[in-house]
Chains A and B, each alone.
Chain A
Amino acid sequence: MSEAHVCKKILVADDSPTMRSLLCATIAAIGDYEVIEAVNGFEALRILPREKVDMVITDVNMPDINGLELVRFIRSNLQYKNLPLLIVSTEGSERDRQKGLSLGADDYLVKPFDPDKLRAFIQKHLH
């Protein structure tokens, strides 16, 4: 990572440490990105205004606020209107997927997620 090259920042919000480290490892294999980890929704809320993130990847089931609420918050905020937003969730039902997408998430992956789909999403939105 050279000094001159500024990495795109990806915020990963998931309360499972294993899932976070998997996402980080997968993202690291995809390219040179800076991953900022949030261990719950509150932390994500705090990181958002502080770090200029280029993408948010969030879980749905988190203990404090759920991922859908996070998506709704992000989309209701003008400054994050175009922030690429990916939900990675264990909730596989069509209803949840529709909810996530209608709140403004750009895509919805079901765990266990396919790393190629994650790659495609990141490459589509961060290039």
Chain B
Amino acid sequence: MANERASKEFLAEAEEIIEKLHLDLVALGDCADGGECDPELLNGIFRGAHSLKGISGMFGFDDIAELAHHLENLLDSLRMGKIALNAPVVEILFGGLEMLSRLVGGKVDNERFTVDLAPLFSRIDEILKDDDAEGEDVWGALQLDPEIRKALTEYEEHRLLENLKKKRNILRVNALFPLHSFDVDLSGVHAAIKGRAEVISTLPSASSEPDKIAFQLLVATSETADSIQSLLKGDSLDVEDLLHEKAACIVPAEIEAPIEKEAAFAANDAIENSSLRSISQTVRVDIEKLDYLMNIVGELVLSKSAIADFADRLKAEGDSERSRDLQKATRTLERRLYELQKGVMEVRMVPVSQLFDKLNRIVRRISSEHGKKVEIDIRGAETELDKLIMERLSDPLVHIIRNAIDHGIESSAERLAAGKPEKGTISLWAAQKGNNVAIEVRDDGRGIDPEQVRRKAVERGLVSDGIDLSRQDIFDLIFSPGFSTRDEVSDLSGRGVGMDVVKSNIAELSGMVEMDSRVGQGTSITITLPITLAIIKALIVRSRTKTYAIPISSVLETLMVHTSKVRTIERREVIDLRQNTLPLVHLSKVFDLPAPSAPPDSFFVAVVGLAEKRMGIVVDELLGQQDVVIKSLCASLSFVKGIAGAADLGNNKTILVIDVGGLMSEALRGETALHV
């Protein structure tokens, strides 16, 4: 069943998993020396081996599947606490990973490539012999619905048991969230209890309210239900104790546990105190926390334009003195906001050397696999780029480099015959250009003949024959989907394989990719990217043929409304919403979009709110929720009413971001604000 394209996809994913496993194993090695490891780290490594086993089996790579299976067994025993994590085990894991990466690397060229795995397997089996069976049954103490227990994976059950054995509390957090934002809300819950409690399982369940979804989170903690409840804000959350609910009044049985707990805390304190002293001047921060800060900054920018809009309105109403004061204050706010945004962005910056080092390893590995002599020339490794962009840049760059070595760099004999140095060179250059970073991958290989590319594109029906195309136009064709096909492997088609994917990956980061090549001299591919991304979560909506983004922070709920429910009060359209009237604003009218030929009999309403005001924005369709990248701060200063800025949808489509505050004050002007 393995066709070439699919198996390439497999190899790419396998490589990605291995790369991640490598990083995680290093972290695991570190914490194995220091005592306790985060269960999630071990579980993540297990999942990596597990996925690899699943996909390699599908492609008939039985040796990879079997190796992954052995590693998975070992990791499973580790995460289940059946065997201890120590240096020899970590060493075996590293050995297994090395084998995996050799196998996957070898298959790139020759699907039959294999290595002798028997010695490693016998070492793993030796270790697994020692694992002891799961101990006593503690389920009885837990008031857990058997249906819920059934939905737990073996690992989740194990975490639950581990925590019970450590005499921690098991709590159930019941949550009810809107369907459009539950993932954000859930990560909010995770963030709120992080470090104080472990989330063992997240169970969704149906809710009687159509736009909502209920969740039960099983949580283990050394603290009480009340103290966890106090961390969680919002009335949609409540915490239940699954161990003590009914037994709360039985005091004697409880006496022992608190003492143990105190002792444990004392021990913890001692560890914390000693480690405090060794803390250096740097802090490691989860990228998600930075994303969160970035989101807030993005939303502040939107709030600021609402204030600027208010100042304009004061001026229009003739209150020029207050307007001037407000404008002055707004400008200060704007400057500070800009500094804040810059500061947050700077924190997210990492030198591209992080990525280049990894690519260096890949160049060495691929070239040795191909028996080609390749040197790597790195420049500008100190150039900084947003961490998130960097992570997402890795795959496309690996792809480009692989192509360069596979198809660009000639064999030593060929190079010598052409009067070139025996060793080929891959150059990786990075440089900052204004608000952009350019990354260039250049090889000094055989290059690509534009005339050949043109002919092939004509053959593929991408352009018609006889059209006048510039050099640049021709090389751009290589990035079109359908430029190359899987059924032939020539030097030329090889270069095109997946270049459309590279292009779309780069476009998702609001970047551009260009190629240039000279026959006999080599090829260069230049990627230009914004230094950073300003991201907000948005509800993507459609009105007529246009797409808009509404910042999710101001959306309270979404409704589907039948036209018969719309009433008109003082020439204003309203609907009834829970005993209140909700004024409606049609986006199509705000932006003067043409009316449809046949008016639909129902439409969607995004209920937005700022402070106490409520308003319904009428749209034709809700397209979903998405992180959008706001185009630079300057662009969002646009003074068009109702527009806060432009955003990038990822697929190179630019849409407008609705300024809810501006739209609302515009629409409700002169009206008494609605109180819901």
A is bound by B? yes
Chain B residues with CB below 8 A from A65, complex form:
201-204
Contact A72 B50 (CB under 8 A): no
Knowing A65-B203, A65-B204, say if A21 contacts B1 (CB, 8 Å): no
Q: Which residue of B lies closest to A113 (CB)?
A: B58
Contact B53 A90 (CB under 8 A): yes
| Interface of chain A, main secondary structure | helix
| Interface-located stretch among B145-153, B398-406, B455-463 | B145-153
Pick from A17, A77, A78, A113: contact of B13, CB below 8 A.
A17
A32 interface residue per 8 A CB criterion: no
B179 interface residue per 8 A CB criterion: yes
- A residues contacting B by CB (< 8 A) are 15-19, 21-22, 25, 41-42, 45-46, 49, 60-61, 63-66, 68-73, 76-78, 90-91, 95-96, 99, 102-103, 111-113, 115
Contact B51 A15 (CB under 8 A): yes
Question: Can you give 30 A-B contacts (C-beta < 8 A)?
Answer: A16-B51, A16-B54, A16-B55, A18-B9, A18-B55, A19-B51, A19-B54, A21-B6, A21-B9, A22-B1, A22-B58, A41-B204, A42-B186, A46-B182, A49-B179, A60-B153, A61-B153, A66-B151, A68-B150, A68-B151, A68-B152, A69-B202, A71-B151, A73-B203, A76-B206, A90-B54, A99-B151, A102-B150, A111-B53, A112-B60
Q: How far is the CA of A71 from the CA of B213 in the complex (A)?
A: 15
Q: Which residue of A lies closest to B153 (CB)?
A: A66
Q: Which residue of A lies closest to B203 (CB)?
A: A69
Pick from A19, A61, A113, A115: contact of B47, CB below 8 A.
A61
Contact A90 B50 (CB under 8 A): yes
B57 interface residue per 8 A CB criterion: yes
Chain A residues with CB below 8 A from B9, complex form:
17-18, 21
Interface residues on B, range: 35 or more
Contact A69 B204 (CB under 8 A): yes
Minimum CB–CB distance for B537 against chain A, Å: 14
Q: How far is the CA of A68 from the CA of B54 in the complex (A)?
A: 17
Chain B residues with CB below 8 A from A17, complex form:
9, 13
Q: How far is the CA of A38 from the CA of B224 in the complex (A)?
A: 37
Interface of chain B residues 35 through 57 with chain A (CB within 8 A): 47, 50-51, 53-55, 57
Contact B153 A18 (CB under 8 A): no
Contact B58 A42 (CB under 8 A): no
Minimum CB–CB distance for A103 against chain B, Å: 6
Chain A residues with CB below 8 A from B624, complex form:
46
Q: How far is the CA of A95 from the CA of B157 in the complex (A)?
A: 13
Contact B57 A72 (CB under 8 A): no
Q: How far is the CA of A90 from the CA of B46 in the complex (A)?
A: 12
Q: How far is the CA of A42 from the CA of B185 in the complex (A)?
A: 12
Q: Which residue of A lies closest to B211 (CB)?
A: A49
Chain B residues with CB below 8 A from A99, complex form:
150-151
Contact B206 A103 (CB under 8 A): no
Pick from A22, A64, A77, A113: contact of B202, CB below 8 A.
A64
Chain A residues with CB below 8 A from B186, complex form:
42
Interface string of B213-248 (1 = CB under 8 A from A): 100000000000000000000000000000000000
Ordered nearest first, which 3 A-B pairs have the shortest CB separation? A112-B57, A90-B54, A72-B151
Q: How far is the CA of A112 from the CA of B64 in the complex (A)?
A: 13
Contact A70 B13 (CB under 8 A): no
Contact A19 B206 (CB under 8 A): no
Knowing A18-B13, A49-B179, A99-B150, say if A70 contacts B54 (CB, 8 Å): no
Pick from A19, A77, A103: contact of B150, CB below 8 A.
A103
B573 interface residue per 8 A CB criterion: no
Contact B6 A22 (CB under 8 A): yes
Contact A112 B183 (CB under 8 A): no
Contact A68 B153 (CB under 8 A): yes
B10 interface residue per 8 A CB criterion: yes
Contact A45 B51 (CB under 8 A): no
| Interface of chain B, main secondary structure | helix
Q: How far is the CA of A32 from the CA of B154 in the complex (A)?
A: 37
B156 interface residue per 8 A CB criterion: yes
B638 interface residue per 8 A CB criterion: no
Besides A19-B58, A64-B183, A96-B154, 11 other A-B contacts (C-beta < 8 A):
A46-B182, A63-B47, A69-B204, A73-B203, A73-B204, A78-B206, A90-B53, A90-B57, A99-B151, A112-B58, A115-B1
Q: How far is the CA of A108 from the CA of B186 in the complex (A)?
A: 29
Chain A residues with CB below 8 A from B201, complex form:
65-66, 69
Contact B203 A25 (CB under 8 A): no
Q: How far is the CA of A71 from the CA of B152 in the complex (A)?
A: 11
Q: Which residue of A lies closest to B625 (CB)?
A: A46
Q: How far is the CA of A65 from the CA of B205 in the complex (A)?
A: 12
Interface of chain B residues 170 through 189 with chain A (CB within 8 A): 179-180, 182-183, 186
Chain A residues with CB below 8 A from B6, complex form:
18, 21-22, 25
Chain A residues with CB below 8 A from B213, complex form:
45
Minimum CB–CB distance for A104 against chain B, Å: 10
Q: How far is the CA of A65 from the CA of B213 in the complex (A)?
A: 14
Q: Which residue of A lies closest to B215 (CB)?
A: A65
Q: How far is the CA of A91 from the CA of B153 in the complex (A)?
A: 10
Interface of chain B residues 125 through 155 with chain A (CB within 8 A): 147-148, 150-154
Minimum CB–CB distance for B533 against chain A, Å: 20
Minimum CB–CB distance for B129 against chain A, Å: 20
Chain A residues with CB below 8 A from B202, complex form:
64-65, 69
Minimum CB–CB distance for B234 against chain A, Å: 19
Knowing A21-B6, A65-B204, A73-B205, say if A16 contacts B13 (CB, 8 Å): yes
Knowing A49-B179, A68-B150, A71-B151, say if A19 contacts B55 (CB, 8 Å): yes
Q: Which residue of A lies closest to B204 (CB)?
A: A73
Knowing A16-B54, A90-B53, A111-B58, say if A76 contacts B205 (CB, 8 Å): yes
Knowing A16-B55, A96-B154, say if A73 contacts B206 (CB, 8 Å): yes
Contact B206 A77 (CB under 8 A): yes
Q: How far is the CA of A42 from the CA of B60 in the complex (A)?
A: 30
Contact B154 A46 (CB under 8 A): no
Q: How far is the CA of A84 from the CA of B217 in the complex (A)?
A: 27
Q: How far is the CA of A61 from the CA of B53 in the complex (A)?
A: 12
Interface of chain B residues 42 through 89 with chain A (CB within 8 A): 47, 50-51, 53-55, 57-58, 60, 65
Centre residue among A17, A49, A65, A90 by max chain B CB count within 10 A: A90
Q: How far is the CA of A21 from the CA of B183 in the complex (A)?
A: 25
Q: Which residue of A lies closest to B1 (CB)?
A: A115
Minimum CB–CB distance for B242 against chain A, Å: 17
Q: How far is the CA of A18 from the CA of B156 in the complex (A)?
A: 26
Pick from B151, B206, B210: contact of A69, CB below 8 A.
B151
Minimum CB–CB distance for A56 against chain B, Å: 13
Q: How far is the CA of A90 from the CA of B6 in the complex (A)?
A: 19
Chain B residues with CB below 8 A from A18, complex form:
6, 9-10, 13, 55, 58
Minimum CB–CB distance for B146 against chain A, Å: 10
Q: How far is the CA of A81 from the CA of B62 in the complex (A)?
A: 38
Q: Which residue of A lies closest to B214 (CB)?
A: A73
Q: Which residue of A lies closest to B53 (CB)?
A: A90
Chain B residues with CB below 8 A from A64, complex form:
183, 202
Q: How far is the CA of A61 from the CA of B180 in the complex (A)?
A: 24
Chain B residues with CB below 8 A from A60, complex form:
153
Chain B residues with CB below 8 A from A46, complex form:
179-180, 182, 624
Q: How far is the CA of A46 from the CA of B53 in the complex (A)?
A: 28
Minimum CB–CB distance for A9 against chain B, Å: 17
